[in-house]
Amino acid sequence: MRTTIVIGAGLSGLMGALALAEAGLRPLVLAKGQGATHWTAGTVDIWGGDERSPREALQEIGALHPHHPYALIGAHAVEEAIVRFRALTEAARYPYVGGLDRNILLPTSAGALRPAALLPVTMAAGDVRLGGTMLIAGFRELRDFYPPFIAANLAAQGMAARGVYLTIPPAFRRREYNPVTFARLFDNPAFCSDIGRQLRAQRGDATRIGLPAVLGLRDPTGVVAHLQDESGAQIFEIPTLPPSVPGMRLFALFQNAIEQAGGRVQIGSEVICGDGRDRLLTTVWSEAAARRQEHRVERALLATGGVAGGGIRTDHMGMVRETALDLPVRAPANRAAWFAPRFLDPQGHAIYTAGVATDAHLRPIGTDGAVVYDNVTVAGALLAGTDTVRERSRSGVSLATGWAAGRILAEWMA
Amino acid sequence: MMIIPEDHIEQSLEASLDHCIKCNICTAACPVSAVTDLFPGPKYVGPQAQRFRHARQPSPDESVDYCSGCRVCNEVCPTGVRIAELNARARARLVAERGIPLRNRLISRSGLVGRLGAGPHAPIANALLGSKPLRMVIERTLGIAREAPLPAFSRYTFRSWFRRRRAPQIDAGTPKRQVVYFHGCSANYYEPWIGKAVVAVLEHNGFEVLLPRQRCCGLPLLSNGDFAAARRAHEENVAFLAPYALRTIPIVGASTSCTLTLKEEAPELLGMQSDTVRAVAQQTYDIFEFLRLLHMRGELRTDFRPIERTLPYHPPCQLRAHRIGRPALDVLELVPGLRLIETHAGCCGIAGTYGLKVEKYRISMDVGAPLFETVRRSGADMALCDSETCRWQISHGAGVVARHPIEILAEAYGLVT
Amino acid sequence: MRTLTTDVLVIGGGATGAGALRDLSLRGIRSALVEKGDLTHGTTGRYHGLLHSGGRYVVKDPQSAEECARENEILRKIMPHCIEETGGLFVVTPADDESYAERFIAACRRTGVWVEEIPVREALRREPLLNPRIQRAFAVRDGAADSFLATHANADDARRHGAQVMTYHRVTRLERVGDRIVGALCEDLRSGETVRIHAGFIINATGAWAGKIAAMAGLRINVVPGKGTMIAMNHRIVNTVVNRCKMPSDGDIIVPIHTVAVLGTTDIPVPDPDVYDITPEEVRLILEEGECLIPGVSRMRALRAWAGVRPLYKDQDAGNDRDIPRTYKLLDHETRDGVSGMVSIVGGKWTTYRLMAEHTVNLVAQRLGVTTPCRTADLTIEPSHDGAAAAPRAPARSQFAILASPFYMLGHRLAEVEADDSYGDLICECELVTRAHLEAAIRSDGTANLDDLRRDTRLGMGPCQGGFCTYRAAAIWHELRDGATHTVGAPPATALLRHFLQERWKGVTPTLWGDQLRQERLDELNYLETLAVDRLPEATLDAIEQPRDVVIEEVV
Report the Cα A53 to chain-centroid distance in Å: 20
Higher pLDDT, B7 or B66: B66
Question: In terms of CA atoms, which chain C residue is nearest residue B12?
Answer: C129
B309: alpha, beta or left? (left if phi > 0; alpha if psi -120 to 50): beta
Output the pLDDT for position C539.
77
Q: Please list the alpha-helical segments (H only) found in C396-552.
A: 412-420, 435-443, 450-457, 469-477, 492-508, 514-524
Greatest extent of chain A over all pairs of C-alpha atoms, in Å: 70
Q: Is the dihedral of CA B334, B339, B340, B344 positive or negative?
A: positive
- Cβ contact, residue pair C424, A177, below 8 Å: yes
What is d(CA C113, CA C105) in angstroms, rounded to the nearest whole number? 9
Residue C79: which of C464, C406, C470 has the closest Cα?
C406
> Which of C426, C529, C556 to mutate to probe the A interface, most A CBs <10 Å?
C529
CB A66 within 8 A of CB B109: no
Angle between helices B405-412 and B192-204 (to 10 degrees): 40
- Cβ contact, residue pair A1, B330, below 8 Å: yes
DSSP string across C265-286: ---EE-SBTTEEE--HHHHHHH
Please give the backbone phi and psi of residue C537, each rounded to the nearest 5 degrees, phi first.
-65, 155
User: Percentage of chain B surpassing pLDDT 90?
Assistant: 90
User: What's the CATH code, domain A4-93+254-411?
Assistant: 3.50.50.60
- Cβ contact, residue pair A175, C424, below 8 Å: yes
Residue B4 has pLDDT above 60, yes or no: no
Q: Say if domain C2-44+148-222+317-368 classifies as CATH 3.40.50.10880.
A: no
Beta-strand pair C31-34/A320-322: unpaired
- With b for 16 or more beta-carbon neighbours within 10 A and e for fewer, the B174-185 pattern comes to eeeeebbbbbbb
pTM of the shown model: 0.95
Output the pLDDT for position A336.
86
- Cβ contact, residue pair A241, C471, below 8 Å: yes
CB C527 within 8 A of CB C533: yes
Which chain A residues have a beta carbon less than 8 Å from that of B282? 290-291
Tell whether A318 is within 8 A of chain C (Cβ): yes
What is d(CA B234, CA B262) in angstroms, rounded to the nearest whole number? 8
CB C385 within 8 A of CB C379: no
**Hey, which chains touch A, using 3+ CB pairs under 8 Å?**
B, C
CB A339 within 8 A of CB C509: yes
Residue B52 has pLDDT above 80, yes or no: yes
Output the pLDDT for position C322.
64
Output the pLDDT for position B12.
72
Output the pLDDT for position A389.
96
Output the pLDDT for position C385.
58
DSSP string across B219-284: HHHHHTT-HHHHHHHHHHHHHHHHHHHHTT--EEES-HHHHHIIIIIHHHHHT---HHHHHHHHHE
Taking only the tens place, the pLDDT of each residue in B350-396 is 999 999 999 999 999 999 999 999 999 999 999 999 999 999 999 99
B174 falls in which pLDDT band (50, 70, 90)?
low
Straight-line distance from the first to the last Cα atom of chain C, in angstroms, rounded to the nearest whole number: 40
Residues 318-337 of A with CB under 8 A from B: 321, 323, 326
- Lowest mean pLDDT, pick from B6-10, B85-89, B140-144, B311-315: B6-10
What average pLDDT score do residues A39-55 get? 95
C57 three-state secondary structure: helix
The CA distance from A401 to the nearest CA of chain B, in Å, is 22
CATH of the domain spanning A109-238, picked from 3.90.660, 1.10.860, 1.25.40, 3.40.50: 3.40.50
CB B151 within 8 A of CB B388: yes
Output the pLDDT for position C554.
36
Output the pLDDT for position B197.
98
Greatest extent of chain C over all pairs of C-alpha atoms, in Å: 70
CB A320 within 8 A of CB A331: yes
The CA distance from A153 to the nearest CA of chain C, in Å, is 5
Which class is C81-142+226-303 in CATH? Answer: alpha beta
Taking only the tens place, the pLDDT of each residue in A125-166 is 999 999 999 999 999 999 999 999 999 999 999 999 999 999
> Which of C234, C430, C439, C517 to mutate to probe the A interface, most A CBs <10 Å?
C517
Average pLDDT per block of 10 residues along chain C, 556 residues long: 96 98 98 96 93 96 96 97 97 96 97 97 95 97 96 96 96 96 95 95 97 95 92 96 95 96 92 88 94 94 94 68 77 96 95 98 97 97 61 51 90 93 94 96 88 92 96 96 73 93 94 97 97 89 42 34
A213 three-state secondary structure: coil
The CA distance from C270 to the nearest CA of chain A, in Å, is 21
What average pLDDT score do residues A371-393 get? 97
Taking only the tens place, the pLDDT of each residue in A316-350 is 999 999 999 999 999 998 888 999 999 999 999 99
Work out the number of other CB atoms within 10 angstroms of the CB of residue C121.
Answer: 10
Higher pLDDT, C107 or B110: C107
Q: What is the mean pLDDT of chain B?
A: 93
- Chain A and chain B share a number of CB contacts under 8 A equal to 122
Output the pLDDT for position B6.
38
The CA distance from B187 to the nearest CA of chain A, in Å, is 23
CB A264 within 8 A of CB B326: yes
CB C453 within 8 A of CB C389: no
Taking only the tens place, the pLDDT of each residue in C106-157 is 999 999 999 999 999 999 999 999 999 999 999 999 999 999 999 999 999 9
**Hey, which chains touch C, using 3+ CB pairs under 8 Å?**
A, B
- Lowest mean pLDDT, pick from B17-26, B172-181, C138-147, C197-206: B172-181
Domain coordinates in residue numbering, chain C: 2-44+148-222+317-368, 81-142+226-303, 421-535
SS3 letters across B57-126: CCCCCCHHHHCCCCCHHHHHCCCCCCHHHHHHHHHHHHHHHHCCCHHHHHHCCHHHHHHHHCCCCHHHHH
- Cβ contact, residue pair C301, B21, below 8 Å: no
